[in-house]
């Protein structure tokens, strides 16, 4: 980063290849800066996108942006996974993309059409000078999130009364209660934390035997995560 230059949203993880279709699938990173976008108004395409590219020409076939105007370091952490799912009574070749927010996006591999509804949900506006948050964020209605979506006071560490009291004192002044609350002067809880949600290793799928398996984190700050499955 030099001066006012922006880091381009390049694919941050491994690429996925569909040899039969001659397609490359990639998940892109977020635009800089991670937590302030006053220097990059708008949705910030093609950051935070699932991209389908022609393997021979590099031309874009389709894309879908999973976060608009990212202010939460929600770059796509895992490579897209090629899956075949039963949908509307037939088998459909699809692409599954997991996110740091704990969502699974499923798209038709050829067209990029979502297999399940994705709603643009209104989100809070920023009150920081110069910042213009995007008014909505895409939330898949199916499958359900694989990670917890809200950090509540019931989740505060109670290992000792002193630790609990210290955390509660900080917690009461922070903004929390939902996804996509923008950064603030008071402090905003981003949960799942900056590392997800979905972890870097990606998905595992054993056809007819296993659900999707993914290493995830359920931490507000970077702590060691465990493996869970859906």
Which of these, 178, 62, 183, lies nearest to 128 by C-alpha position? 183
Sheet with strand 49-54: strands edge to edge: 16-18, 23-27, 49-54, 60-65
Strand partners, 53: 24, 60
CA angle, residues 218, 223, 227, in degrees to nearest 5 = 50
Options 34, 54, 70, 73, the catalytic residue: 73
Burial of 127 (0-12, 13-18, 19+ CB in 10 A): exposed
34 among known catalytic residues: no
Residue numbers annotated as active site: 73
């Amino acid at each position: 980063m030099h001066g006012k230059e922006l880091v381009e949203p390049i694919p941050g993880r491994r690429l996925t290849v569909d040899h039969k279709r001659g397609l490359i699938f990639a998940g892109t990173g977020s635009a800089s800066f991670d937590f302030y976008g006053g220097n990059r108004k708008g949705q910030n395409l093609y950051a935070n996108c699932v991209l389908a590219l022609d393997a021979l020409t590099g031309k874009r076939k389709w894309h879908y942006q999973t976060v608009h105007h990212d202010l939460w370091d929600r770059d796509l952490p895992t490579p897209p996974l090629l899956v075949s799912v039963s949908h509307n009574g037939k088998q459909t070749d699809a692409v599954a993309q997991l996110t740091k927010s704990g969502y699974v996006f499923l798209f038709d591999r050829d067209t990029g059409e979502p297999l399940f509804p994705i709603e643009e949900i209104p989100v809070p506006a920023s009150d920081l000078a110069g910042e213009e948050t995007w008014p909505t964020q895409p939330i898949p209605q199916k499958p359900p999130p694989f990670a917890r979506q809200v950090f509540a006071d019931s989740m505060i560490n109670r290992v000792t009364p002193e630790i609990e009291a210290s955390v509660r004192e900080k917690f009461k002044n922070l903004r929390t209660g939902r996804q996509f609350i923008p950064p603030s002067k008071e402090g905003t809880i981003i949960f799942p934390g900056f590392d997800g949600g979905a972890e870097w290793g990606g998905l595992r799928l054993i056809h007819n035997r296993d659900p999707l398996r993914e290493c995830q984190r359920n931490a507000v700050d970077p702590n060691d995560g465990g493996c869970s499955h859906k």
